[in-house]
């Protein structure tokens, strides 16, 4: 489906369903409509995301991740991208002090896995989406003079090419009321990722315990120069719980907003610049 966006600049938006979620791509530039080069690169962006889904989906029996988890394929025999992601996940585990891991209790492993003794499987979902969107968005840099914004399930990679162009405005929803915006975050270059329980319930696991993350938080939004690391840090912070904001504040070039169980929202010192966050943060 293609949507046309009115405005003073030439703008265009595309939406496709990939990885079980809507993926939207927005361009601003001199020839957003009808340029064959734009059409070709946009097609490559969506094709790359479909390829990543085919490799990494834990919902597709024929993905390499599921073949790896069933013991039908060794990591050394996987696509190089799977090996790259495995290395990145190991790095992420170290950076997040063990609050991020791709080695998680298998869905059918029962109580033993939760206790640390049962079967675990390789599930890099907490890193792959941000990594994939960031990789795919990099293709858009080949279109000179264009601003781009690529969003998959709320994880966003954005870039503004012209210093005179306005930033992309990213709205951060209240996890208790999806019709309410807690913050409007202008992004010129970098990524924004949100982790929480509002949309999918208690799906984030605390790797240190093997159990679903506690009920201290409702959502964590992280922004920084890399969408992949924003995604990892948001997931790890949600797993950490009560001390998430203190940990996020210690990270370099990273800003964040945390919503606690009672709906209170607090942010790192830099997040609220230029009235980006509501006054009660």
Evaluate whether 221 touches 230 at the Cβ level (below 8 Å): no
**pLDDT-based confidence at 9, cuts 50/70/90?**
low
What's the CA gap between 61 and 58, in Å, rounded? 7
Residue 189 main-chain phi, psi, to 5 deg: -160, 120
Instruction: For 15-52, write each residue's pLDDT tens digit.
Output: 999 999 999 999 998 877 878 888 999 999 999 999 99
Distance CA 127, CA 240 (A): 16
Please report the pLDDT score of residue 237 as a whole number: 96
d(CA 218, CA 262): 8
- pLDDT computed for residue 200 by the predictor: 57
Beta strand 189-196 pairing with 217-224:
antiparallel
Which two tokens mark 235? Answer: 């997931």
Half-sphere exposure of 177 (CA within 13 A, CB side): 7
pLDDT tens-digit map of 263-272? 999 999 878 5
Tokens of 73: 């394929």
Between CA 14 and CA 228 the distance in angstroms is 22
- pLDDT value at residue 108: 67
115's tokens: 């206790």
pLDDT of 171 > 60? The answer is yes
Residue 66 clears pLDDT 90, i.e. is over it: yes
Residue for token pair 């951060």: 172
The reported pLDDT for the residue numbered 198 is: 61
Angle at 96 (CA atoms; ends 91, 101), nearest 5 degrees: 65
Q: Determine the average pLDDT of the residues in 225-244.
A: 95
Nearest to 165 by CA among 152, 179, 184, 146: 146
Residue 155: is its pLDDT beyond 90? Answer: yes
């Amino acid at each position: 489906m293609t949507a046309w966006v009115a405005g003073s600049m030439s703008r265009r938006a595309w939406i496709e369903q990939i990885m079980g979620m809507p993926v939207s791509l927005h361009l601003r530039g001199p020839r957003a409509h009808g340029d064959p080069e734009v059409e070709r690169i946009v097609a490559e962006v969506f094709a790359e995301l479909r390829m990543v889904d085919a490799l990494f989906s834990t919902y597709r029996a024929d993905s390499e991740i599921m073949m790896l988890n069933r013991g039908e394929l060794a990591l050394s025999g996987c696509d190089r991208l799977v090996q790259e992601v495995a290395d990145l996940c190991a790095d992420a585990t170290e950076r997040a002090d063990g609050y991020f891991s791709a080695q998680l209790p298998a869905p059918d492993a029962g109580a033993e896995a939760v206790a640390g003794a049962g079967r675990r499987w390789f599930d890099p979902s907490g890193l792959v989406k941000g990594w994939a969107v960031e990789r795919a968005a990099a293709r858009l840099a080949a279109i000179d003079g264009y601003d781009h914004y690529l969003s998959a399930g709320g994880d966003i990679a954005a870039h503004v090419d012209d210093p005179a162009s306005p930033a992309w405005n990213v709205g951060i929803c209240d996890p208790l009321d999806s019709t309410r915006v807690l913050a409007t975050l202008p992004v010129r270059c970098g990524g924004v990722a949100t982790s929480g329980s509002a949309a999918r319930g208690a799906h984030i696991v605390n790797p240190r315990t093997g159990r679903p993350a506690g009920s201290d938080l409702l959502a964590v939004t992280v922004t920084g120069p890399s969408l992949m690391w924003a995604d990892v840090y948001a997931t790890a912070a949600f797993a950490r719980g009560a001390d998430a904001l203190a940990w996020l504040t210690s990270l370099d070039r990273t800003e964040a907003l945390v919503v606690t169980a009672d709906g209170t929202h607090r942010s790192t010192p830099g997040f609220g610049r230029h009235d980006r966050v509501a006054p009660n943060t």
